[in-house]
Amino acid sequence: MTNFQVAIDGPASAGKSTIAKILATKLNYVYVDTGAMYRSITLAAKKAGISYNDEQKIRNLLSHTDIRFEPSAPVQRVFLNDVDVTDEIRSTEITNNVSIVAAFADVRSNLVSRQRDIADHNSVIMDGRDIGTTVLPNANVKIFLVASVEERAQRRYKENIAKGITTDLETLKQEIEARDYKDSHRKISPLTQAKDAILVDTTSQNIDQVVSQIANIITSKK
Ligand code: C5P
């Protein structure tokens, strides 16, 4: 394997993308936000007027759904068939329905092969739910990033406030728990810690501390 692969998995809102983006910039690796890919397919279904439960119609969408990332500080832009959907894929509706679409076998196999293709051509930091277990089982570094559900809801709450969105903390907590439950209980590639993944608990750590902890792990594996 010539390209270096870092897999970061974990439950919703554990800080995976924040940490992965910083590390990718530091190391000059490509950051692959696999959650954004599942969110984009979910949005494509919404735009086509397809029910999130309609596996057959969603399967038919896959072959004409192009998803492209464009590096752009501070947020990577996401394009769905050349339309910038960076903000739209983070809406509450998409967030609360993406786990239904992500459970379909054809959606997973299609996106996993796109993800592997990127990793075949670049050194990557890839975050998601099944990177260490399924997408890149031979990744050089595997991290399983966790934080208490209270802490994760608090972080999401503060992010929303910063964006001018008022949300109820308890509702956020319930939505995070519901998504984790669906992601950990689906049949194909459920969210689980790979046997050889290193557990990093970010509950009482700040971003710099987590970045430096993982950067040290990466350095030790080079
Ligand atoms: O990472 P993010 O929270 O944006 O992921 C959105 C959803 O996409 C997850 O809740 C999960 O249902 C799905 N997902 C997945 N496998 C991945 C990444 C995300 O099933 N590798």
The conformational region for residue 43 under phi > 0 = left, psi -120 to 50 = alpha, else beta, is: alpha
Instruction: Find out whether the beta carbon of 128 lies less than 6 Å from any atom of ligand 1.
Output: yes
* Residue at token pair 């949005």: 43
Interatomic CA distance for residues 180 and 163, integer angstroms: 24
Burial label, 151 (beta-carbon count in 10 A; 0-12, 13-18, 19+): middle
For the Cβ of 104 lying below 6 angstroms from any atom of ligand 1, the answer is no
Summarised one tens digit per residue, pLDDT across range 37-84 is 999 999 999 999 999 999 999 999 999 999 999 987 677 899 999 999
Separation of 35 CA from ligand 1 center, angstroms? 4
Residue located via tokens 């690796």: 29
Instruction: Give pLDDT tens digits for 90-138.
Output: 999 999 999 999 999 999 999 999 999 999 999 999 999 999 999 999 9
Boundaries of domain holding 200: 5-221
Whole-number CA gyration radius for the chain: 17
CA of 131 to the centre of ligand 1 (A): 11
Question: Which protein residue's CA is at the shortest distance from atom 8 of ligand 1?
Answer: 35
The pLDDT of residue 16 is 96
pLDDT at 118: 96
Quote the number of domains for the chain: 1
Say which residue, 27 or 2, is predicted with more confidence: 27
Question: 182 CB contacts (<8 Å, ≥6 apart)?
Answer: 99, 100, 103
Q: ipTM of this complex > 0.90?
A: yes
Q: Exposed (0-12), middle (13-18) or buried (19+): which is 23, by Cβ within 10 Å?
A: buried
SS3 199: strand
* Residues with Cβ within 8 Å of residue 164, at least 6 apart in sequence: none
The pLDDT score that the predictor gives to residue 93 is 96
At 43, which CATH number?
3.40.50.300
CA 21/CA 103 separation, integer angstroms:
26
Residue with tokens 């790979």: 194
Pocket test for ligand 1, best of 21, 98, 156 (most atoms within 8 A of CB): 98
